[in-house]
Amino acid sequence: MRLVIARCSVDYAGRLTAHLPLAPRLILVKADGSVSIHADDRAYKPLNWMSPPCTLKEGSGDDAGVWTVVNKAGEKLIITMAEILHDSSHELGVDPGLIKDGVEAHLQELLADRIETLGEGYTLIRREYQTAIGPVDILCRDADGATVAVEIKRRGEIDGVEQLTRYLDLLNRDPHLAPVRGVFAAQEIKPQARVLATDRGIDCAVLDYDALRGIEDDKLRLF
Amino acid sequence: MRLVIARCSVDYAGRLTAHLPLAPRLILVKADGSVSIHADDRAYKPLNWMSPPCTLKEGSGDDAGVWTVVNKAGEKLIITMAEILHDSSHELGVDPGLIKDGVEAHLQELLADRIETLGEGYTLIRREYQTAIGPVDILCRDADGATVAVEIKRRGEIDGVEQLTRYLDLLNRDPHLAPVRGVFAAQEIKPQARVLATDRGIDCAVLDYDALRGIEDDKLRLF
DNA sequence: CCCTACATTTCGCTG
DNA sequence: CAGCGAAGTGTAGGG
């Protein structure tokens, strides 16, 4: 990883065109060839960047101080250096990577293991039920044997209701499954999403992650 | 801006919990107090971060080498330093910021100014037509005087069709406007989005940004 | 390779 | 403050 602090101006021509006037910034050149330009605020987003795979060429002669980064699609990032204030390189090696807990996939596992959380007598058909337009998070049956499609979100918003609606439209065309009800399950459901779901006859279920995990932990302790 | 290269492990507890095993990484501490941790790949996304506003406390005594970053919501990022390999600070000042061109807003202006691009005899009613569920990008009339709602996207995907569908449902309840047709306009329309749009009787229009801009430039030259 | 969906999405605007 | 939509979204995973 190469760290450069420099007064520079930047031009990007690709999916849009953008320009950064001359100012001091951090230029980050990573081992995969990617380049990002950071101001002294915002942790997450660089001012400008080029994602890998891409190649960096440092100009020489007339082009001294002009760095050009290009990718396969022909997008171009041009950094014009006015003054280099710091320049250092460091060997970091490959990162072992982030270990996460509490994302949607985990919620899905927990709920599938305790599908009766949605109601007494519920039984799991399967997780990640494949359809032509994508996977349904959970397909199950209620106490009456009716098919239920469950869409799980960490935060339930309108997009999730739309997604579930598309699945329900499709599933209800299958005479082996129809009629299929929908359940929109999330740790938090936004009011607008609840209104839309209710309007479409979709039930909402608020999931308690800690409780689900607690039940799971109990289960693990018991067996 | 402070640049630290260090062998470190990281724990995050907030919207999820996450852990980074001990490895060499870049830690970026910015003037706004934000902290991000980068591996030697991917230009855009840090491995872990804390967005401003937040506060960093460097431990001392027993906690030497333990940095704790907390924010208002109680999210916590704990960086445990095993070995500092580099540590430097740099004054950058406030960045003048990025100047963009070619985003959706611009496309909308261009198309509104040349609404007949969609078909002969089209006339603009207005841009950003407000409804209870959000603004319709463009509302216009076709040659027959029928109302047309236009949703503009840079890249036309399924979500955009869903959005336009919601607007059309609402607009068609207004007897002054109904019947309202829909046009899904984008620089690029994904096949699946086109299928969904067509299935719902929504027309698709592929916009040529350069041509629209060229026409606009001509117009500017003429008047 | 395309498509789909998730993300600690972030970010900006509007009410 | 919430709500909603855009983003050069990036990123991972399946067919």
Q: A153 burial class (0-12, 13-18, 19+ CB within 10 angstroms)? A: buried
pLDDT at A221 over 70: no
What's the CA gap between B30 and A20, in Å, rounded? 19
Report yes or no: A45 at the B interface, CB cutoff 8 Å. Answer: yes
Strand D and B42 CB separated by under 7 Å = yes
| A126-130, A219-223, B115-119: least confidently modelled range | A219-223
Task: Please say whether the beta carbons of B189 and B156 come within 8 A.
Answer: yes
A218 confidence band (pLDDT: 50, 70, 90)? low
Residue B85 has a CB neighbour count (10 Å cut-off) of: 14
* Residue partners of B181: CB distance under 8 A and separation at least 6: B142, B146, B147, B148, B149, B168, B201, B202, B203
User: What's residue A132's pLDDT?
Assistant: 84
Whether the CB of B105 is below 8 Å from some CB of chain A: the reply is: no
Task: Report which residue type is found at B94.
Answer: V
Contact A46 B48 (CB under 8 A): no
- A4-51 residue pLDDT tens: 999 999 999 888 889 999 999 999 999 999 999 999 999 999 999 999
pLDDT at B216 over 90: no
Nearest Cβ partner for B25 among A3, A92, A159: A92
H/E stretch holding B192: helix B191-199
Q: Which of A19, A25, A35 sits opposite B43 (nearest CB)?
A: A35
Sign of CA dihedral B158, B162, B163, B167: positive
Contacts of B38 in chain A (CB under 8 A): 1, 28, 30
Residue A61, Ramachandran bin (φ over 0: left; ψ between -120 and 50: alpha; else beta): left
Q: Are strands A180-189 and A147-156 parallel, antiparallel or unpaired?
A: parallel
Residue B222 has pLDDT above 60, yes or no: no
> pLDDT per residue over A132-170, tens digit each?
888 899 999 999 999 999 999 998 888 899 899 989 999
Average pLDDT over residues B178-184: 93
The pLDDT assigned to B221 comes to: 47
**Count of all residues that appear for chain A in the document:** 223
DSSP-derived secondary structure for B138-160: EEEE-TTS-EEEEEEEEEE-HHH
Query: Which is more confident, B81 or B194?
Result: B81
Nucleotide with the nearest C1' to A190 CA: D3
Task: Indicate the burial class of B6 (C-beta count within 10 angstroms; 0-12, 13-18, 19 or more).
Answer: buried
Helix, strand or coil, per DSSP, at residue A116:
helix
Does residue B22 have a pLDDT over 50? Answer: yes
Question: Percent of chain B at pLDDT above 70?
Answer: 95
Q: Does pLDDT of A181 surpass 60?
A: yes
* pLDDT band per the 50, 70, 90 thresholds, residue B104: confident
Please name the fold of domain B104-222. Answer: Trna Endonuclease; Chain: A, domain 1 (3.40.1350)
Shortest CA to C1' contact from A153: nucleotide: C6
Q: Which of A157, A68, A112, A69 is nearest to B43 (CA)?
A: A69
Do the Cβ atoms of A103 and B32 come within 8 Å? no
pLDDT in tens, A84-120: 999 999 999 999 999 998 788 889 999 999 999 999 9
Q: What is the mean pLDDT of chain B?
A: 90
- Is A50 near chain B, with CB under 8 Å? yes
- In a 10 Å sphere around its CB, with 0-12 CB exposed, 13-18 middle and 19+ buried, how is residue A220 labelled? exposed
**Structural domain boundaries of chain B?**
2-89, 104-222
A19 three-state secondary structure: strand
Measured from the CB, is B131 under 7 Å from any atom of strand D?
A: no
Q: What percent of chain A clears pLDDT 90, i.e. is strictly above it?
A: 70
Q: What's the fold here for domain B2-89? A: Protein Yojf; Chain: A; (2.70.180)
What DSSP state is assigned to residue B53? Answer: S
Contacts with B173 (C-beta within 8 Å, 6 or more apart), sequence order? none
A85 lies within 8 A of chain B by CB: yes
